[in-house]
Amino acid sequence: MDQRGTENGRGLPAPGGQPTLWQAHDDLPATDMPFAVALLALGSARGLGTKGLHALVREHREQLGRVWELPGGRLAAELARARVPAARRIAEEIDVSRSELLAAAREKADELARRSVRIIGPSALPARLAELPGGPLWLFLEGDSRALYEGPHVAVVGTREVTPDGVRATEAAVRTMAAYPITLVSGLANGVDAVAHQAALRDGVRNVAFLGHGIDVVFPAETADIRTRIVRSGGAVVSEYLPQEHYRKAQFVQRNRLQAGLADIVVATEGKRTGGTAHTVRFAATYRRPIIGFTWPGAGDLTDLIGNEPTGRLIAPFTAAGRRTLDTLLRSVADSYGHTTFGLSLVERQLSREVELRALHPEDLQRLRQRLDDLLGQEDGGHAR
């Protein structure tokens, strides 16, 4: 039974038998304040910071609006118990600024809703992310939420300084997964991320892009068009950072844990073991996700790190054998979700398009039928051998 919606709720003792903060405040009335409004308001409270906000969400979850019913002294006690510095001063600031913070939060929530951005609370997070150690407590999502929830997901990640061979390798990875009902996960950065998202858009693969900054911040500027197309094509852009929160290096590292956490397989197409992609590989290893590293003469040394991980595997993407191995792994993960898979679905889509656009003669289709018969004969002969 899924306990995520009741963890640390009423009637569940904290570790060691100590009462939770909710149990200490069981006399508080329930609140109808939306989680989104409560989160945005507290996120704007001066001095509360990430630590304090996380502590409050862990305790109150979707009933975060209860915080706004707390007298200043009770809120100060909660923050102090969570070891938030200057707890009393912060509680007093929240109490004094209550009306302004809530009014601004409602306005911001309405603005996000107009942009089709929804805020996912802790009990509604995808299981693969909710179960991560140190995982997110909420997510901002722009686009179609089904892209986030419906698997399988395959992360394609790599360096920002992508080489021509890295571009080819990344496009090969996406092209291979395009035959199956797989959603691509990447980080909407320049380099491999951008190549992966663009290839997915070209090949009809659904995208999930995780950001290292607020949902209303576009960075880098060159990816603005890709982001728009991801949303319009049924994908999703996702962030755990509050609106208007700008990018920092540490946030991109934390973004990488979400890519690895959501993914059924992580494919690192090019990178160095000292680069940012190495963080994604290490997160994937910690979460026991299968990791595929692409190798070719001149590829970066990230493959050394991947090859030493228990869940790591190296594949040569520019060989027929390597591509078949990758295809087998991707088809297998799609099959594991109960999807019906067809290895020639890309060919089928392209053939339908060609038939639609061309003035075909009967002999064109007869020649195609003969070619298929020849291929089937070769396959049968190969099996016979």
Query: In this structure, are 233 and 259 located in the same domain?
Result: yes
Q: What are phi and psi of 315, to 5 degrees?
A: -135, 140
Q: What is the pLDDT of residue 15?
A: 30
Query: In this structure, are 368 and 314 located in the same domain?
Result: no
Query: In this structure, are 167 and 221 located in the same domain?
Result: yes
pTM reported for the whole predicted model: 0.86
- Which residues lie below 8 Å from residue 241, measured CB to CB, with a gap of 6+? 140, 211, 212, 213, 214, 215, 251
Of 79, 114, 149, the domain-final residue: 114
What is the DSSP track for 117-143?
EEEE-GGGS-HHHHTSTT--S-EEEEE
Query: In this structure, are 91 and 232 located in the same domain?
Result: no
Of 87, 114, 141, the domain-final residue: 114
**Residue 7 belongs to a domain:** no
- Dist. CA 130–CA 57, nearest whole Å: 13
**Residue 319 belongs to a domain:** yes
| Containing structural domain, residue 139 | 127-336
Distances (CA, A) of 272 to 298, 365, 369, 370: 11, 49, 47, 48
Domain count within the chain = 3
Q: What is the pLDDT of residue 381?
A: 60
- Dist. CA 76–CA 28, nearest whole Å: 16
- Dist. CA 251–CA 256, nearest whole Å: 9
Q: What is the pLDDT of residue 338?
A: 95
Query: In this structure, are 235 and 309 located in the same domain?
Result: yes
- Dist. CA 230–CA 185, nearest whole Å: 11
**Residue 373 belongs to a domain:** yes
**Residue 1 belongs to a domain:** no
Residue type, 160: R
**Residue 369 belongs to a domain:** yes
Distances (CA, A) of 101 to 61, 328, 378: 19, 53, 71
Query: In this structure, are 212 and 77 located in the same domain?
Result: no
Q: Residue 30 corresponds to which tokens in the numbers above?
A: 């329930």
pLDDT tens string, the chain, 385 residues long: the values are 333 333 333 222 233 333 333 233 334 344 568 999 999 999 999 889 888 999 999 989 999 998 888 876 888 888 888 888 888 998 888 888 889 999 999 999 999 999 999 999 999 999 999 999 999 999 999 999 999 999 999 999 999 999 999 999 999 999 999 999 999 999 999 999 999 999 999 999 999 999 999 999 888 889 999 999 999 999 999 999 999 888 777 788 899 999 999 999 999 999 999 999 999 999 999 999 999 999 999 898 999 999 999 999 999 999 999 999 999 999 999 999 999 999 999 989 989 988 899 999 999 999 999 998 998 887 666 554 4
Query: In this structure, are 106 and 187 located in the same domain?
Result: no
Q: What is the pLDDT of residue 6?
A: 32
Contact by Cβ (8 Å): 171, 165: no
**Residue 342 belongs to a domain:** no
Query: In this structure, are 52 and 142 located in the same domain?
Result: no
For CA atoms 249, 194, 307, 256, the dihedral sign is positive
Query: In this structure, are 301 and 184 located in the same domain?
Result: yes
Of 74, 90, 114, the domain-final residue: 114
- Which residues lie below 8 Å from residue 64, measured CB to CB, with a gap of 6+? 33, 35, 38, 39, 42, 56, 57, 121
Report the b/e string of 195-230 with b at 16+ CB within 10 A: bbbbbbbebebbbbbbbbbbbbebbeeebeebbeeb
